[in-house]
Every structure is written in C-alpha cells, then in structure tokens.
Amino acid sequence: MKSARPHTLRVFLVALALFAALAFAACGDTKDDEEASDNGSTAAQEGTADPKAEIKKGIKTVSIPKQLGNPYEEFEHSGVDEALEELGGSNRISGPTDAGASTQIPIINAAVQQDVDAIIIAGNDPDAVAPALKQAAQRGVKVVGMDSDVAPDARSVFVNQVTTQLVGENQVESIGKQIDYKGEIAILSATANATNQNAWIDVMKQTLKKPKYKDMKLVKTAYGDDDDQKSFQETQGLIQAYPNLKGIISPTTVGVAAAARYLSTSPQKGKIKLTGLGFPNQMRKFVKDGTVDEFQLWVPKDVGYLAGQAAAALVSGRITGKEGEKFEAGRLGEYTIGANGEIVLGPLTTFDADNIDDFDF
Amino acid sequence: MRAEAATPQTASSAAPGPGRHWRAALGRWETLLVGLLVVTAIAGQAISPEFLTADSFTTGSLDLSEIALMALPLAMVIIAAEIDLSVASVLALSSALMGYLWNHGQPVETIIPICIVVGALCGASNGLLVTRFGLPSLAVTIGTLALFRGLAFVVIGDESVTDFPTTWTDRAFGNFAGTFIPNSIVLFALLAVAFAVALHATRFGRSIYAIGANEEAAYFSGLRVKRIKLILFTLSGAVAALAGVVISLRNSTAAANVGQGFELTVVTAVLLGGISIFGGRGTIAGVILALFLLGGIQKALLLSESISSYWVQIVTGALLVGSVLGPNVASRVADARRRRSHPLLEEGP
C-alpha cells in the first residue's frame, strides 16, 4: 500500500517532464540551420517619404528608458519631452524599475494599447524587446531606438549619440589644440578590455598619424579601471614617468574627474593639459579653477531631442527610415539618415569656461 | 494506513475533512478574490477603456506566464509549510543553460529536457538540504537563490543568446490556434489542471495538507514526510526550469539576468491565493484567481498614463503583506468571538 503512493508520483513526474518537452511539439532546428528562419518582417519601412508633409498635430509618444531613477537617462528622455512639446505633441516617460532583458516588454505592450503614435526606446536587450516592437510596428506605431540600439529590423531609425570615429577624432583635436599640436601625450583609459574604450583608442592612434598631428607622440596608455583611486594613482604615475608630458586624454568620466583632481593640487596644474569625456557637473570646479581648459561629451538631452524629432518626422511621413532621407530636427538643424537607419547626433560637444554653466548633468 | 486519518486539524479550523475544508475555503478567501477582481475590472476600465480587451489579456497574461507556472508547485511547497525562494534563480540558470547549449549546437528539443532535469536537480538539492539536514527552507533557498543565480552567470556570463529559431520563439510568444490566449498560458492551464488534481484529488495531495497542518502528526501517522517534501522541492525546481525555457523562447533571449525579483511576485501570487504561509491550507483555484488579480492590477497600472512603474512594486509588496495579514486578523477576530460565546474554551492551551 505504501509503495503505491511514490509509484503514482513517479509516473506523474515522468509524465510532467514528457509533457513539458512535448508541449511545444517537436521540430528539429539547431543553430547550424537557421538561415531559413530569418524572414525579417521589416514592417517599419513602408511607403515613401514626403519631406514636405505637415507635422501631425497632437502626436502622442512614449519614451522608454532602460531603467527609472538614473539621472543620466532622465536627462536624456527629458529631451524627448522637449521635442514633442515644441511640435505640439506630448511624450510620456515610462520605464521599468530594473534593467533586466525583458522588463521593457510590458511597457511596450501597454503603449501600443494606449494607441500612441511612436515609441522611443533605449533598449536593455536588443532582441528581447524585438517581437513586441515588431508587433507595435504592425499596428502602425513608429519605433525609434536611441542611445543603445534594438534589433535593426525592430525599429525604423536609431539615434546614436556619437560614432566611434568622431569620439577618437574629436578627443585628439581637443588635446592637440591645447598643446599647439606638439609634444608627448598619454591616454588614461578605463579597463584594458573595455570594448568602447579600445575602439576609441584605436581611432585616436589612427588620427595621430595624420600630418596635422605629426609632432604629437602617444607615449603610454594607462588603465584606471574606472576606479577613482586607481585612476588618481595612474595619473600620478604618468606624470612622474614622463617629465615631458604635455597632455592627457581620458575618455572615461571616472578617469577624467580623477585626473583633474590630481592635477588641481599638483605643481603641473595648468601646464599639463587634460581633456576627456566628462560630466559638466563633475568637471565644473576644475574648469573654474583653471585645471582643465576644456573637455567633451555628447549632450544627453540632445540625444532625446533628436529622437523625439525623428519620431515626429516618422509619424508625419516626412521620413520612412531609409538611408539618405533628410529631415529638419528643430534647434539641431538638418539630419540625414545613414546606413541601417542610423542617425548620428554629431560631433562631441566641447565644454569650457564659457558654456559649462549652461549644462546641468 | 489511510491518509484521511492525518487530515489537517488546525486550531482555528473546525472542518472535519479535506472536502469540506476545501469548500469552506472557497466560501471565504476565494470569494474575496472574486470580489477584488470585480473591483479591479471596474477600476481598470475607469483608468483606461483599453483595460477590458482581448489585447490586455493576451499581453498581460503573457507577461505573467512564468510567474504563473512557478506558482503551481510553490503552492504545494507552501501548503507543506516550507518555502522555495530560489525559483527565479533556477529560472535564470535554466535560461543561461539553454543559451549555452544552443551556442554549442544542440537542438532545442534536446535542450528543453536537459534544462528541466537540471532544474529538478537544483530543486532536489534544496529538498535534500531541508529534509536530510533538517535545515529551514527559508535559509536554504535564500542561499541557493544567490548560488543558482551565480551559477547562471558562470554558465553564460554577461552575454545574451538571441538566435533561437523563430519556429520555437513564435511558439512561445504566439497565441493558441487563432485565439487571443497565448500558448504559454495554455501550457499553464494544462499544468494547473494536473496540479489541481494532484493536490485536491489524490492521496499525495492530502498528505501535503497533513504535513503542512502538523508535521509530527503526519509523520506518526506513517506519512513519508521527508520523501514528499523532497518531491515537492524537485517539482518546484523542474517547473521553474520549464519557466526558464518559456521566458527564453518568449523573449528570444537567454541571459543570466532574467527574472530578477520574480520570487517576490510568485510568493505574492501564492499567498494572495489564500495559501497559508503557515502551511496546511489553500487551493490551486485560489492561486489562479490571485494570478488574475495580480495580472489585472499590473495591467491597470501600466495602462494608466500617470502612474509610475514603481507602483507595480509597491502594490505587489502591499498585496504580499496584506495576504499574510488578512487571514491572521480574520482568525483572531474569529477566535475572540468564539471565546466570548464559549468562555470555557479559554482554559485550552
């Protein structure tokens, strides 16, 4: 009698496992034979663009950040608000409370149900949100990616803050003009294997080969690991090891702030020039006290503003997302859609003593 | 020996048999849930005319499908007066493993059973720690919550695997045969029937209630308490792994960070469903109603144009506390009333 009980259970468990495997029914796909499965439904790019079309009245959009409560993203998405208000529409920022791969999906679905005209999204995961976004597109909602892209067939256009090429070139020019294009420079990076850092550094090295920069010499790339203390010490090390050092590029917000903090109390203050990618709020006091002449970054609010403008242009039929189409993006001027529907905000914005007080992020 | 002999006889419940216990419960907590559902429906419709639509059901239920799957075995675990907080981490481990195996050229129909077996092993290790070493399941599964999540990151790192075949992802994302009911919810419905039958209509199910109501009494009545608990934990792991498969295919993304915080929602669904945190009572029907309620509230909050998604968390947390507090207060009130009418009972232990 006792043995009957576990027995029925075992049957139940086995049945459950079998059922689970069968519930989806069988079909023999593996990674190796997937080409047939990719019949990309590019529902986004239909019809032709009419650059002269009126901007639709009362456009309703939802912009979805990666996660709520991140000041950088809030600033970025406030740009979407600005663009839509300017065009007589409205935007609502609605984001998940954590940045998990699938947390944006319910918000996308709700936006579609609310019958918005466009969704502007900074994707947490490029593919997890793709099916929901494609469904949105099928129901006439325009999709604009910004900041970090989603799968290209799941959106019409993607607004990129900057390209790798531009970061590298702009940063070299920024330090070059401060040291009269002459002398030794060093780079203070984040970690040795950070993909974006290394891509930027590669472009910097390429740029330095141009005739204009022939008298500048990159002597060392140091790694501060995006750790304030380590970056501080690495700056100190660079200056001791290279007495003729004229300039430092630190294309990381942690690194540039730490380097500025070191320089501000050292005898080389003002003599060794420093540029990099930094937040105005972190760098303000070093610009004011003369440690730093200028540094660069994109303006997050402009990223959102451009995305909002692109969304309105899509909704109104001024663009469809094809390469080569042009549209007017309000205060930012005219933009052209590049390959893969990418729109690049532009070169880095340079912050110096004259304009730094106009920015609060 | 007959299982009926070990029927739950908790202090506050006067129900003599599982059948009547079940019906009595339906008369109370489940009715309350139905009432709350009606309120939610009215409030939701007031928030947005889009609330009571097939679309809402499709997307809302799809969002909850993994939670719903994991709630079924967890209901059994909690009825047996244990808890399993590691379910969301098993889900993540299963997702990570799925991505890993797919990257190594395995077909999906091989991957799914492997994931479920690994999930069952995770659950079994919880169960062994609880039953063989006599450790409290709360502590054990908080530990494995971190451990399995960590393993998931070991398996796949920060990477996410996204190139599953569309035949499978469509199956998990799509609706059942032209209806507005997602396939994953059909899967849930089938499992729900299986679990409801197992819990309410078999000797095994009655043993679970007996263990939850009074473990020692159950043991001395001859029930194989440890074995049954081990099975429950194993089942919980296996179904959590199945949920991991579903979420990976549904989102076409396998990653180690999926389902963060799902354990909170699953436990909320189960407790809100009227399963007592102290074990021994509750029904699968209640859990299903609670899932509807939870899904309805989440959808209403999402559809509202002015409420931030922080409120989804706040409401989930409040429901969790409320569903533990509610029955507690109710039974105190009932006790107080009984004491007033039968003063002699006060002499009792």
Tokens 């730490």 identify what position? A258
CB nearest to B251's CB, from A30, A96, A105: A105
| pLDDT classification of B18: cutoffs 50, 70, 90 | low
ipTM, 2 dp:
0.75
| pLDDT classification of B28: cutoffs 50, 70, 90 | confident
Inter-chain contact B107–A29, Cβ cutoff 8 Å?
yes
Buried b (16+ CB within 10 A) or exposed e, A258-283: bbbbbbbeeeebeebbbbbbbbbebb
**CA-based nearest residue to B205, from B346, B1, B6, B338:** B6
Give the distance, in angstroms, between the CA of residue A358 and the centroid of all CA atoms in the same chain: 22
Report the distance separating Cα B115 and Cα A263, nearest Å.
55
How many domains does chain B divide into? 1
Q: Which two three-digit tokens encode residue A225?
A: 């690991």
Instruction: Give yes or no for a contact between B123 and B91, defined as CB atoms under 8 angstroms apart.
Output: no
Which pLDDT does position B2 carry in this prediction?
41
| Weakest-pLDDT range from B20-24, B95-99, B224-228 | B20-24
B residues 302-321 closer than 8 Å to A (CB): 302-303, 305, 308-310, 312-313
Does residue B70 lie in a domain region? yes
Q: What is the CATH number of the domain that holds B84?
A: 1.10.3470
Quick one: what percent of chain A has pLDDT higher than 70?
87
Does residue B9 lie in a domain region? no
Whole-angstrom Cα Rg for chain A:
25
What domains can you pick out in chain A, each with its CATH number? 60-162+300-345 (3.40.50.2300), 164-297 (3.40.50.2300)
Whether the per-residue pLDDT at A268 is higher than 60: the answer is: yes
**CA-based nearest residue to A136, from A150, A149, A117, A151:** A117
A294-297 and A349-352 strand pairing: antiparallel
A residues 102-141 closer than 8 Å to B (CB): 102, 105-107, 109-110, 112-115, 125-128, 130-131
Is the CB of residue A54 less than 8 Å away from at least one CB of chain B? no
pLDDT digits (tens, 9 = 90+) for A282-298: 999 999 999 999 999 99
Is the CB of residue B6 less than 8 Å away from at least one CB of chain A? no
Q: Average pLDDT of chain B?
A: 88
CB nearest to B204's CB, from A9, A23, A94: A9
| pLDDT classification of A322: cutoffs 50, 70, 90 | very high
Whether the per-residue pLDDT at A21 is higher than 70: the answer is: no
Inter-chain contact A27–B59, Cβ cutoff 8 Å?
no
Does residue B338 lie in a domain region? no
Distance between A246 CA and the closest CA of chain B, angstroms = 38
Instruction: Give yes or no for a contact between A224 and A230, defined as CB atoms under 8 angstroms apart.
Output: yes
Is the CB of residue B59 less than 8 Å away from at least one CB of chain A? yes
Does residue B231 lie in a domain region? yes
Contacts with B60 from chain A: Cβ below 8 Å: 106
CA angle A31, A37, A39 (to 5 degrees): 140
Based on the number of CB atoms within 10 Å of its own CB, is B256 exposed (0-12), middle (13-18) or buried (19 or more)?
A: buried
**CA-based nearest residue to B239, from B97, B110, B118:** B118
Which pLDDT does position B323 carry in this prediction?
87
Inter-chain contact B260–A98, Cβ cutoff 8 Å?
yes
pLDDT digits (tens, 9 = 90+) for A186-237: 999 998 888 889 999 999 999 999 999 999 999 999 999 889 999 999 999 9
Contacts with A17 from chain B: Cβ below 8 Å: 113, 116-117, 120, 238
Write down how long chain B is: 349
Per residue, what are the HEC states of A111-168? HHHCCCCEEEECCCCCCCCHHHHHHHHHCCCEEEEECCCCCHHHCCEEEECCCHHHHH
A222 three-class SS: strand
Report the distance separating Cα B235 and Cα B123, nearest Å.
7
Does residue B2 lie in a domain region? no
Does residue B163 lie in a domain region? yes
**φ/ψ of residue A231, rounded to 5:** -65, -40
Which pLDDT does position A40 carry in this prediction?
38
For the question of whether the overall pTM of this predicted structure is more than 0.90, the answer is no
Residue A346 or residue B328, greater confidence: A346
Closest residue of chain A to B300, computed from CA coordinates: A110
Is the CB of residue A58 less than 8 Å away from at least one CB of chain B? no
Buried b (16+ CB within 10 A) or exposed e, B12-47: ebebeebeebbeebeeebbeebeebbeebbeebeeb
Inter-chain contact A131–B198, Cβ cutoff 8 Å?
no
Mutating which of B48, B56, B109, B228 best tests the A interface, going by the most A Cβ atoms within 10 A? B109
Does residue B90 lie in a domain region? yes
Is the CB of residue A38 less than 8 Å away from at least one CB of chain B? yes
pLDDT digits (tens, 9 = 90+) for B95-147: 999 999 999 999 999 999 999 999 999 999 999 999 999 999 999 999 999 99
Which pLDDT does position B23 carry in this prediction?
55
Inter-chain contact A25–B308, Cβ cutoff 8 Å?
no
Distance between B64 CA and the closest CA of chain A, angstroms = 10
Whether the per-residue pLDDT at A306 is higher than 50: the answer is: yes
Which pLDDT does position A9 carry in this prediction?
54
pLDDT digits (tens, 9 = 90+) for B273-326: 999 999 999 999 999 999 999 999 999 998 888 888 788 889 888 988 988 888
Does residue B47 lie in a domain region? no
Q: Which two three-digit tokens encode residue B273?
A: 């469903």
Range of the domain at B154: 56-330
